[in-house]
Structure 1
Amino acid sequence: MPFLVVTIVAAIVDLVVLAVFHIARPEVDPLTRPTSEYALGAYGWAAAVATGIVGLGALALAWAVRTQTRPAAVVLAIFGAAKVAQAFFPIDPAGVVTTTGQVHNVLGNIAFFTLPLAAVLAVRALSPRWRWAPPAAAGLVVAVVAVLAADLHGAFGVAQRVYLVGCSLWMLAVAAVGIADLPDRTRDVS
C-alpha cells in the first residue's frame, strides 16, 4: 500500500505543478511550447522536482503491480527511470543544441511511448477491478497519436499537456483502484 500512496501523491503533485506553471510562467505558450520549457528560467527547479517525482511514482506503481502484470510493471519501470533521469537533463532553449538537451529529448521520447504501452499491457490485469481500464489505455494511445499529429500543425503544447494530464490521471486511477482492492484488516478480528 505505501507504494500506491507514493504513486497517488506523485500524480497529484504533477497535476498541481502543471496547473501552477500555467499561471507562474505565462511566457511559455501552452498551445505551442513543450512543458519541458518550464524547467528553463524562474522556478525551473520545481519542474525538475515534479519530473523526478512522477518518475518515482511510476517506479512505485511498477513495484505495486509487479505480481499482477509483470510486462506492464517492467515498462512502467522504464518510464519511471526515464522520468527520474530526465529531471537531471533540462531541455535546451530554442535554437541551442547541447548534449544535455539531447539526453532530455531521448529520455522524453522513451517516456512518451512507454507509459501508454504499460497501460495497454495492464488492461487484462486491471479490467476485472477497473472497468475503465480498456478505454483509459485506448485514450493514452490516442493521445500519443494526437501529440504526433498536433506537432505537424503547430499545436504540440496543448496536445502534450492533454497527454501528460491523461498519464497522471491513469497512474492516479490505477493506484486508487489498487488501494480500494486491499482487504480491510480492521474487519478481521479473529
Structure 2
Amino acid sequence: MAKQLVMAKPLTVTASRFALASILSGALFVLLLCSLHLLQPEFDPTWRFISEYALGNYGWMMHLAFGLLAVAQISVAITIFPHIRTVTGYIGLVILGISAIGVIIAAIFVTDPISVSLDDATFSGSMHSIGAMLDYTPVAALLISLSLCRLDAWRPMKRVLLTSSVIAIVAMLVFVIQIPQDGQFGPEVLAGLFGRFLILADIAWLIIVGIHAVKLGASNK
C-alpha cells in the first residue's frame, strides 16, 4: 500500500521572508569564510579550525560569520515550523534551535589557539568549545528532512534533502574521527579540512531548504 502524502499548509509572507533570510545569511557566511582564507593565509586550512580566524586582524569577520550562520539556522526553523507534523521533525527543530544557541555562544566567545591544551584553556576558549559542541545541525537536518518528505509540497525535494543531510552526517562523523584522543593537533591531523567540509554541508542543507521554501511561497501568491 502506497504511503499517503500529507498536504502542507501554505507558507505565509513572513515565512517566505525568513526563508529568504536563511539563503542570504548562508551565502554571506560562505563569502566571509572564503574571504578570511585569503585575508589570513597564516591559518593553514587543512588543520587549523575556522574559529581561529577570530584571533587574527579580521576577527570581526569570523564573529559576523558565526552570527549569520545562527540567523540561517533560526530562519529555517521558523520557516518550516508550520510544515512539521511528526515527532521526529519536532525533535529535529529542537536540535536545530540548540545548534543555533551553540553557534551564538561560539560567535560571542573567542576560541583559544589550537596549540593551547584543555588544561590551559581560558574562560572564553572553554565557552567557545561548549558552543561548538552544541552544534548538531547534521542530525537536525536528517530528522527534519525525514519529516518534510512526508508532505506533498516537499516530495520533489526528497532525494536532494535526504542526500544533503546524509552528506552532512557523514562529514560530521569523519570530522569527529579526526579529533586526536590526546588533544594534540598538528599538520598531520586534517581536522580543519574536514571541519570546513562539515560547515559547508550544513550551509548547503540550510540554503536548499530556504530556496525550496521561497519557491513554495511564490507559488502560493
TM (norm. structure 2) is 0.79
The answer to whether residue 107 in structure 2 is matched with residue 92 in structure 1 is no
SS at match of 1:132: helix
Give 1:138's aligned residue: 166
The answer to whether residue 99 in structure 2 is matched with residue 79 in structure 1 is yes
Whole-Å Cα distance in 1 between the matches of residues 134 and 156 of structure 2? 28
Whole-Å Cα distance in 2 between the matches of residues 134 and 155 of structure 1? 26
Give 1:29's aligned residue: 44
Give 1:171's aligned residue: 206
Aligned with 1:109 (options 113, 120, 133): 133
Aligned length: 184
Work out whether residues 18 and 79 of structure 2, in 8 Å CA contact, stay in contact via their aligned partners in 1. yes
Work out whether residues 59 and 81 of structure 1, in 8 Å CA contact, stay in contact via their aligned partners in 2. no
User: Which one has a bigger Cα radius of gyration?
Assistant: 2
Whole-Å Cα distance in 2 between the matches of residues 184 and 122 of structure 1? 22
Aligned with 1:151 (options 167, 171, 179): 179
Give 2:145's aligned residue: 123
User: AA paired with 1:25?
Assistant: Q
Gap change, CA 1:48 and 1:160, over 3 Å in 2: same
**TM-fit CA distance, 1:86:** 1.6
The answer to whether residue 19 in structure 2 is matched with residue 4 in structure 1 is yes
User: AA paired with 2:208?
Assistant: A
**TM-fit CA distance, 1:76:** 1.4
Work out whether residues 53 and 59 of structure 2, in 8 Å CA contact, stay in contact via their aligned partners in 1. yes
User: AA paired with 2:145?
Assistant: V
User: AA paired with 2:100?
Assistant: G
User: AA paired with 1:134?
Assistant: L
- Percent identical among aligned pairs is 23
**TM-fit CA distance, 1:75:** 1.6
User: AA paired with 2:54?
Assistant: A
Whole-Å Cα distance in 2 between the matches of residues 175 and 73 of structure 1? 15
**Which shows bigger deviation, 86-95 or 66-75?**
66-75
User: AA paired with 1:119?
Assistant: A
Work out whether residues 104 and 131 of structure 2, in 8 Å CA contact, stay in contact via their aligned partners in 1. no
**TM-fit CA distance, 1:85:** 2.2
**Which shows bigger deviation, 127-136 or 45-54?**
127-136
SS at match of 2:121: coil
Whole-Å Cα distance in 1 between the matches of residues 99 and 142 of structure 2? 14
Give 1:66's aligned residue: 81
Which ranges in structure 1 are unaligned for 5 or more consecutive residues? none
Whole-Å Cα distance in 2 between the matches of residues 158 and 185 of structure 1? 41
For the aligned residue pairs, the C-alpha RMSD in angstroms reads 1.5
Whole-Å Cα distance in 2 between the matches of residues 46 and 67 of structure 1? 33
Deviation per residue, 1:16-55 (Å, 9 max, x gap): 1111111111000100110000000210011001101111
Whole-Å Cα distance in 2 between the matches of residues 90 and 60 of structure 1? 24
